[in-house]
Amino acid sequence: MTLVQPMTDFAIEPEPLLLSKSVSKMYGDRVGCLDVSFNLWPGEVLGIVGESGSGKSTLLRCLAGIDTPTAGEVLFRHGADPVNIFDLPEPTRRKMMRTEWGIVHQNPRDGLRMDVSAGGNVGERLMDRGDRHYGKIRDAALDWLGRVEIDGNRIDDRPRQFSGGMQQRLQIARVLVPEPRLVFMDEPTGGLDVSVQARLLDLLRVLVRDLGIAAIIVTHDLAVARLLTDRLMVMKDGRVVEEGLTDQVLDDPHHAYTQLLTSAVLSA
Amino acid sequence: MTTMLRAEGLSKQFLLHTQNSVSLPVFAQVDFTVKKGEAVILHGASGVGKSTLLRILYGNYRPSAGHVHVLHGSQFVDIVTATPRRVLEVRRRTLSFVSQFLRVIPRVSTIDIVKDPMLARGIDPSEATRRAGDMLARLNLPERLWTLAPSTFSGGEQQRVNIARSFVDPTAIMLLDEPTASLDAANRDVVVHLIDEARNNGAAIIGIFHDEAVRDRIATRRLDLTAYRAAA
Ligand SMILES: Nc1ncnc2c1ncn2[C@@H]1O[C@H](COP(=O)(O)OP(=O)(O)OP(=O)(O)O)[C@@H](O)[C@H]1O
Ligand SMILES: Nc1ncnc2c1ncn2[C@@H]1O[C@H](COP(=O)(O)OP(=O)(O)OP(=O)(O)O)[C@@H](O)[C@H]1O
Ligand SMILES: [Mg+2]
Ligand SMILES: [Mg+2]
């Protein structure tokens, strides 16, 4: 038995992939999210937890360029230098969102084309990326259906013929197939029953690790956060009240609200 | 001998906001150094803070004061102030924590749980499979269990899966919180051998063992936390 040797290139720090700088979003005088700053590095998985109405989805929508913040900036490393995503011309931003980002919606209907076959839902994203060879696209679609555990003989079925769990797995395949650098997920296992959730979580865990994708995951489930995320931000009333390594925040919470949140569950 | 870990002025008190903000002091000003090839056993009565200290060394708990310098490759990293991603990198390659409890991942098979840290370190999957199997066999876990998820296993079986996962590819610093707690004599023996093997290969061991006989076999030094007890 020999001991694990640390990498020698450890000193080289890669640059952050996404930078959130004092992002705030107001809805009139109602607070969506307030003054949220953090950096996300390539391959890192960040969880956002907090009670209903604390601003998790609002923040995620601002970070993903779906909503425009009232104040603050979101920078993304697109090419050599970070660019403010809201300064980009609309077509450039749309293209970047399609090819470098992925968004997994809580409701698979929001992320799938319900009138297009399962294979088409996956293959379409490869065509967006510039792939044109029909046979190769179909093979890649089949491969991805397999990875999310959808039987290849369902490739020509429409999503509406699938169960909720299958639709969610198909959405994940559609999002991950172009191998985005960053994925946003809002309650990805929300409406699913517990056994289906467990399969999906394991699938996400392995895919994110194997592809080295960075991800931001909103969830109200601390067990999901523990399983999938490296880092955690806890939100309350639109603000981040505590953040750190996921196991640290869950096992040794310092903020009163985080202590309440972690003591309210039996085990996470 | 090379210093692997240096704890400096570690203090911990818990502030329990949900319980009338009561403050719970545990220990104060703990200093110690652990060198390559040493096995330091943490000592002291139940509640003195042995597990708390071990968790601080791993970066799982945050100390109220102090630092934990860990030799990672050729440089020291302070686990207390390092960024989350750096702590995770140190854990991936230098620092392991083994408790008596396995954190079961839903639906993941025993063999995959044991392979997981090796895959994260970039070891070839077929080699990882072979080594995982050898280690599970060494810990007397019947082969028919390897493809099952351990959620239905007995406490002792789960514990052995956990030990296999950590000792199949040991790191330079191993933190052990009662890893032999509910094992029978034969399996306890295997674990003692695994710990000794890692230490003879240069690992620094910091552990908690309630069994006096196990303690005597493993320890090269003891650290009694009683002297560091913090006043309320
Ligand atoms: N389009 C909108 N118009 C007005 N107010 C909004 C809008 N979207 C969100 N809000 C308000 O912003 C606050 C944050 O809402 P958000 O949806 O971000 O919460 P959340 O943390 O995602 O909650 P949940 O866990 O229930 O999904 C809430 O008070 C909400 O009512
Ligand atoms: N996460 C936590 N939050 C609050 N208090 C904690 C936490 N973890 C430990 N403590 C408290 O810290 C003190 C030390 O506990 P610790 O588990 O470190 O003791 P120990 O020496 O390992 O005891 P044992 O031998 O019984 O395992 C105890 O009073 C315990 O209740
Ligand atoms: Mg929401
Ligand atoms: Mg203990």
Q: What is the CB neighbour count within 10 angstroms for residue A220?
A: 16
Query: CA A70, A74, A78, A79 torsion: positive or negative?
Result: positive
Task: Report, in angstroms and rounded to the nearest whole number, the Rg of chain B calculated over CA atoms.
Answer: 18
- What pLDDT is stored for residue A207 in this prediction? 76
Which of A56, A67, A240 best tests ligand 1's pocket when mutated (most atoms within 8 Å of CB)?
A: A56
Q: How many whole angstroms separate alpha carbon B145 and alpha carbon B141?
A: 7
- How distant, in Å, are the alpha carbons of A19, A81, A137, B57, B168 from that of A11? 21, 21, 40, 22, 27
pTM for the model: 0.92
- What pLDDT is stored for residue A8 in this prediction? 54
Gap between the terminal Cα atoms of chain A:
34
- What pLDDT is stored for residue A23 in this prediction? 98
Q: How many whole angstroms separate alpha carbon B163 and alpha carbon B176?
A: 10
By mean pLDDT, which of A64-73, A128-137, A168-177, B59-68 is the weakest? A128-137
Cβ A6–B73 below 8 Å, yes or no?
A: yes
Question: In this predicted model, which residue has the larger pLDDT, B44 or A8?
Answer: B44
Q: How many whole angstroms separate alpha carbon B98 and alpha carbon B57?
A: 13
The tens digit of pLDDT for each residue in A90-111 reads 898 888 888 889 999 888 999 9
Q: How many whole angstroms separate alpha carbon A161 and alpha carbon A114?
A: 9
Q: List the domain boundaries for chain A.
A: 113-179
Which numbered ligand comes closest to the C-alpha of A49?
1
- What pLDDT is stored for residue A233 in this prediction? 98
In chain A, residues with a C-beta closer than 8 Å to the C-beta of B120 are: 209
Runs of H (alpha helix) within chain B:
50-58, 84-93, 110-120, 125-138, 155-167, 185-200, 212-218
What average pLDDT does the segment A156-181 reach?
Answer: 91
Closest to A208 in 3D by CA, of A232, A236, A180, A187: A180
| Per-residue pLDDT in tens (0 to 9) along chain B, 232 residues | 899 999 999 999 999 998 888 999 999 999 999 999 999 999 999 999 999 999 999 999 999 999 999 999 999 999 999 999 999 999 999 999 998 888 877 778 999 999 999 998 889 999 999 999 999 999 999 999 999 999 889 989 999 999 999 999 999 999 999 999 889 999 999 999 999 999 999 999 999 999 999 999 999 999 999 999 877 5
The ipTM of this complex is: 0.93
Report the percentage of chain A scoring pLDDT > 70: 93
Per-residue burial over A50-63, b = 16 or more CB atoms within 10 Å of its CB, e = otherwise: beeebbbbbbbbbb
Which of A247, A248, A252, A258 best tests ligand 2's pocket when mutated (most atoms within 8 Å of CB)?
A: A252
pLDDT at A9 over 60: no
Gap between the terminal Cα atoms of chain B:
38
Question: In this predicted model, which residue has the larger pLDDT, A79 or A169?
Answer: A169
Instruction: Indicate if ligand 2 lies below 6 Å from the C-beta of B9.
Output: no
Residue the block writes with tokens 């995770």: B88
Contacting residues for A1 by C-beta, under 8 A, at least 6 apart: B167, B170, B197, B198, B201
- What pLDDT is stored for residue A174 in this prediction? 93
The tens digit of pLDDT for each residue in A32-73 reads 999 999 999 988 999 999 989 999 999 999 999 999 999 999
- What pLDDT is stored for residue B21 in this prediction? 87
By mean pLDDT, which of A5-19, A233-247, B49-63, B134-148 is the weakest? A5-19
DSSP state of A6: P
B173: closest chain A residue by CA: A3
- What pLDDT is stored for residue A13 in this prediction? 63
Q: What is the CB neighbour count within 10 angstroms for residue B56?
A: 26
DSSP state of A223: H
- Amino acid letter, A96: M
Instruction: Indicate if ligand 2 lies below 6 Å from the C-beta of B42.
Output: no
Give yes or no for A95 touching B (CB within 8 A).
no
- What pLDDT is stored for residue A12 in this prediction? 56
pLDDT at A196 over 90: no
Cβ B203–A3 below 8 Å, yes or no?
A: yes
Closest to B5 in 3D by CA, of B84, B94, B98, B93: B94
Residue having the nearest C-alpha atom to atom 13 of ligand 1: A32
Cβ B18–A248 below 8 Å, yes or no?
A: no
Q: How many whole angstroms separate alpha carbon A268 and alpha carbon A153?
A: 38
If you write DSSP's letter for every residue of A198-262 in order, what string do you get?
HHHHHHHHHHHHHHT-EEEEE-S-HHHHHHH-SEEEEEETTEEEEEEEHHHHHHS--SHHHHHHH
- What pLDDT is stored for residue A266 in this prediction? 53
Question: Measured in whole angstroms, how far is the alpha carbon of residue A9 from the centre of its chain?
Answer: 28
- What pLDDT is stored for residue A1 in this prediction? 67
Is residue A52 classed as helix, strand or coil in its secondary structure? coil
Cβ B15–A254 below 8 Å, yes or no?
A: yes
What average pLDDT does the segment A112-139 reach?
Answer: 90
